[in-house]
Structure 1
Amino acid sequence: MDQPATGLRERKKARTRTAIQQHALRLFKERGYQATTVEQIAEAAEVAPSTVFRYFPTKEDLAVLDDYYSLADAVSAAVAAQPPDTPPVDVLRGALRAVFTGLSPDDRAARYERDLAMLTIPEVWAANLGMVARSRGLLADAMRARMPGPAARILADAVVGVGLGALLDWTRDPHSDPAEALDQALGRLSDLL
C-alpha cells in the first residue's frame, strides 16, 4: 500500500498510482509483460497514456513494487512492539502475524496479488531483486537492537530465505493463505534453532 497521503489531492494521486500499477500487474499476468503495452494499461486504468507516464516514466517502472502495498514500515514498527525477551525468530513471526492480521481484506488480497505477480512474472521478479535486498537490510536493522554483531544479518538472511520458500510453495496453491504458510515455516525455523 502506498504511503499515507494527507490532503485530498495527494490521496487521489496515490489512488491513481495504485490503480495504474494494479492494472499493469493484472495485464502482465494475463497477457505477459512483453505483450502488454502502456496504452493497454492506460485503457484498463481509465487514464491517458500520458498519465501513466507521469507516475511511471517507463514501462519497467510499472514492475517495480517498492511502494506498492509495501509492509516495510509496518513490519519495522511491529518488530519494535514485540516483548523484549522474545526469541528472535518469534519476534519476526509475531510481527508478521500482527501486520497481516491488521490488513483489511482488500489490502491483504492486493498484497497477495502483488507477491504472486512478483514470483510468477520473470520481468517483475527481475525488477524487484533490489527490493528483496533492501527488505533483507530492513529486517536486519529492525533486529539489531535485539541481537549483537552479525547475528541480525544472519537471521534476516534465514528469514528472507524461508519467506521466499514459503511464497514459492504458495504459488503452486494460490488459494491457500501465504501468511499462514509463512507463519508455519517460521515456526519450523524457530524449532530448528
Structure 2
Amino acid sequence: MHNDDRTLENWREQKKNKTKAAIQREALQLFREQGYSATTAEQIAEAAEVSRATFFRYFPTKADIVLYDVFASKTLARFLAMPAEMKPLRALQHALLKALDETSVEEREQERQREALLRTEPELRKQMPDLFARRLPLVAEALAERLGRPHDDLEALVLAGAVVGIAMALWTVVEQDLSEGFIERHVALLNKALVLLAAVIDRDG
C-alpha cells in the first residue's frame, strides 16, 4: 500500500471512530438518564444528530454501542505508533499509559459507565466472550505488523492469545470495583500482568 493510500485509509478510520465515539457518548448520556432498556435507537440517533441509516451503519444493534471500546481502539493505534525497536509487550505497556493520559476525565467516567452496563445488563454480559474472541485477530494483526511478520504469523497469534486472555481474566475475575478511578486501576493491573507475561517469556525463551 502506498503512503498516500495508507494516509487516506487512516483518515477514514479516524473519522469513523470519531463518529462512533460521538454516538456512544450521547447514548451513554441517555442510558444514564432513562435506563438502557427504555432508550431506543431512534432517540440515540436524534441526540447524536445523525440519521437512522447512519446510526445503524455504525451500530447494527443497541448493544453494539456499549460493546464498542473506544479506549481499546485508542490503545491499539498508539501501540502501532510506538518505536519499531521497542519489544511488543513493552510497546503495549507504553500504549496503554499513553492512551490513558489522552483520555479526559469525562471520557474516563463514560468508560466506567460503559463497564457498569456490560456487567449489569444480561443482554450485554452474555456477549463478552464473543467480544474478546473478536479482539484476538485484531491484536494478532497489530503484533504481526510490529514484528514485520505476515498477518497469520503463529508467534503473533500465540502472543495475542496471551494478551487477550489476560484482559479476559482481569475482566471476569479480578477487576470488579467500578468506583471512581476504575480505568486507572484497570490499566495498572493490565500493565502489571504484561510485566509478568514478559518475564515468563524472557525466562523460558
Provide the TM-score with structure 2 as the length reference.
0.65
Aligned equivalent of 1:100 = 100
Aligned equivalent of 1:121 = 121
- Per-residue deviation at 1:75? 2.6
- Per-residue deviation at 1:68? 4.1
Aligned equivalent of 2:27 = 21
One-letter amino acid of the structure 1 residue matched with residue 101 of structure 2: T
Equivalent residue pairs, number:
176
Aligned equivalent of 2:192 = 184
CA distance in 1, matches of 2:15, 2:89: 33
Going from structure 1 to structure 2, the CA distance change for 1:124 and 1:102 (only over 3 Å counts) comes to same
- Per-residue deviation at 1:56? 5.8
Match of 2:166 among 156, 159, 162: 162
One-letter amino acid of the structure 1 residue matched with residue 175 of structure 2: W
User: What RMSD in Å do the two structures reach over aligned CA positions?
Assistant: 3.9
The answer to whether the Cα contact below 8 Å between 1:79 and 1:91 also exists between their aligned partners in 2 is: yes
CA distance in 2, matches of 1:91, 1:147: 15
- Per-residue deviation at 1:172? 4.1
- Per-residue deviation at 1:121? 2.9
Aligned equivalent of 2:154 = 150
Q: Tell me, what secondary structure is at the counterpart of 1:85?
A: coil
Gaps of 5+ in 1: none
Moved more, 138-147 or 65-74: 65-74
CA distance in 2, matches of 1:77, 1:14: 15
Moved more, 128-137 or 150-159: 128-137
- Per-residue deviation at 1:67? 7.4
Deviations along 1:136-159, whole A, 9 cap, x unmatched?
Answer: 111111110216421111111111
Aligned equivalent of 2:176 = 171
- Per-residue deviation at 1:122? 2.8
Aligned equivalent of 2:3 = none
CA distance in 2, matches of 1:173, 1:109: 10
Gaps of 5+ in 2: 1-12
Provide the TM-score with structure 1 as the length reference.
0.68
- Per-residue deviation at 1:66? 7.0
The answer to whether the Cα contact below 8 Å between 1:78 and 1:99 also exists between their aligned partners in 2 is: yes
The answer to whether the Cα contact below 8 Å between 1:63 and 1:124 also exists between their aligned partners in 2 is: yes
- Per-residue deviation at 1:174? 4.0
Aligned equivalent of 1:75 = 75
Going from structure 1 to structure 2, the CA distance change for 1:174 and 1:71 (only over 3 Å counts) comes to same
The answer to whether the Cα contact below 8 Å between 2:25 and 2:110 also exists between their aligned partners in 1 is: no
CA distance in 1, matches of 2:26, 2:168: 26
CA distance in 1, matches of 2:158, 2:108: 28
One-letter amino acid of the structure 1 residue matched with residue 137 of structure 2: G
CA distance in 2, matches of 1:94, 1:114: 24
One-letter amino acid of the structure 2 residue matched with residue 21 of structure 1: A
Compare relative contact order (CA 8 Å, sep 6+) and give the higher one, 1 or 2.
1
Going from structure 1 to structure 2, the CA distance change for 1:141 and 1:53 (only over 3 Å counts) comes to same
